[in-house]
Amino acid sequence: MDDDVAKTWADARNKIDRLRDGALVKIEALGKSDDLEKTRIEFLGKKSYIMGLIKLLGRLSAEERPEAGAKLNAIRTEIEVAIETKKKWLQHVEQDQILQNENFDISLPSRLLGKGHFHPVAEVMDDLIEIFVELGFMVEEGPEVETDEFNFKMLNFPDDHPARDMQDTFYIGNGTRLMRTHTSPVQIHAMKKYQPPMSVIAPGRVYRCDSDVTHSPVFHQLEGFYIDKNVNFGHLKGTLELFVRHLYGDGVEVRFRPSFFPFTEPSAEIDISCVLCHGGGCRVCKETGWLEILGAGMIDPNVLSVMDINPEKWTGFAFGLGIERIAMLKYGIDDIRLLYENNIGFLQQF
């Protein structure tokens, strides 16, 4: 510690108590909120005497520094508390003055305001997350702006896959980045982050060049996957059947149809008996009695190998579903665009 710093602190010992007392007296005497801010800057601003001393703390000797720091922090806190207390008091006084000058009857009843509630998509997403968390899945999130590597390549999409085309995918700038087309990239992020065994769900927004009564360019998905030793298609089937029972009750039938997804093998589409006509056939299920709700399959060994997970030791399944699709089925909505038009009359039904 140099002599100048030592002398500065020695002089400050005799000053700061008087400075604090003067600040408290001045704060107590203030009558306007504007003057309060000026006073705060005067005593605690960057160029104030107290802040200048705080900047010198690092140059004090090891013996003096703890005592000096404690004293300065105590004074600064005391002044801050006094300013905040005065601020609340002044606001109360100013509000009273406004009420006294206004010519209205404060005893009149107020307008009845409707209670807010969650959007139906948010309600369904929360319900789905709760179901899978109860089944032992943890929730992960990932970026909505992705690279081709995470969105396609590491998920086993070939270079000529139609999903890479401009008419399906929103590319950004020179095409090196894109808006994710599904939440499956979170599967790759999670595999980089954790070691198996793991069970993860990834809810979130996704983007595709699509817009009609059943599709939206921005919508929500929930991806889920489970990796462990000896996982087989029976585990996938049991998990999804249990999920459907939780969501729609015991009376709903479930069927699995063969399908194809680049990142699962074998793959399946999962249908449920129509929850509106109970399998009898209606306009929503196109008279078939069945509704498709999600896609699933066993994680392709190529995906595991890319992530340095030995497919001879570990296996897993994955599934994905559209939140809006589930919401439309739950509430009997036949046009997905209704969910995003912000029509209060429509939303108040839920």
Q: Give the residue extent of every domain in the chain.
A: 3-101, 120-347
202 bridge partner residues:
223
- Per-residue pLDDT, averaged over 207-220, amounts to 71
Distance CA 228, CA 232 (A): 10
The pLDDT, as a whole number, for residue 186 is 92
Q: Check if the beta carbon of residue 307 is closer than 8 Å to that of residue 112.
A: no
Query: Collapsing DSSP states into helix, strand and coil, what is residue 316?
Result: strand
Any idea what the Cα angle at residue 226 is, between residues 221 and 230, rounded to 5°? 150
Work out the pLDDT band at 29, boundaries 50, 70, 90.
confident
- In tens, the pLDDT along 313-337 reads 999 999 999 888 888 877 877 777 8
Distance CA 207, CA 220 (A): 9
Residue 339, judged by CB atoms within 10 A of its CB (0-12, 13-18, 19+), counts as buried
The pLDDT, as a whole number, for residue 1 is 46
Distance CA 276, CA 290 (A): 10
Distance CA 152, CA 162 (A): 11
- Per-residue pLDDT, averaged over 22-41, amounts to 80
What residues contact residue 346 under an 8 Å CB cut-off, 6+ apart?
A: 338
What residues contact residue 51 under an 8 Å CB cut-off, 6+ apart?
A: 44, 45
Q: Check if the beta carbon of residue 276 is closer than 8 Å to that of residue 289.
A: no
- In tens, the pLDDT along 79-127 reads 888 888 888 888 888 777 776 776 767 677 877 777 778 888 888 899 9
Distance CA 211, CA 33 (A): 53
Distance CA 223, CA 301 (A): 18
- In tens, the pLDDT along 258-279 reads 999 888 999 999 988 887 777 7
Distance CA 227, CA 215 (A): 31
- Using the predicted structure, report yes or no on whether residue 214 has a pLDDT greater than 60: no
Name, of 11-25, 44-58, 228-242, the range with top average pLDDT. 228-242
The pLDDT, as a whole number, for residue 165 is 65
- In tens, the pLDDT along 156-182 reads 887 777 766 656 788 888 777 889 988
Distance CA 333, CA 232 (A): 35
Selection from 243, 209, 231, 221 nearest residue 137 by Cα: 243
Hey, what are 100's tokens?
């006294």
- Using the predicted structure, report yes or no on whether residue 213 has a pLDDT greater than 80: no
Q: Check if the beta carbon of residue 248 is closer than 8 Å to that of residue 282.
A: no
Looking at the chain, the whole-number percentage of residues with pLDDT higher than 90 is 28
The pLDDT, as a whole number, for residue 9 is 65
- Using the predicted structure, report yes or no on whether residue 338 has a pLDDT greater than 90: no
Task: Look up the CATH architecture of domain 120-347.
Answer: 2-Layer Sandwich (3.30)
Hey, what are 102's tokens?
């206004």
Selection from 206, 142, 209 nearest residue 169 by Cα: 209
228 bridge partner residues:
315
Q: How does DSSP assign 185-221, residue by residue? A: HHHHHHHHH--SSEEEEEEEEEE-S--BTTB-SEEEE
The pLDDT, as a whole number, for residue 276 is 73
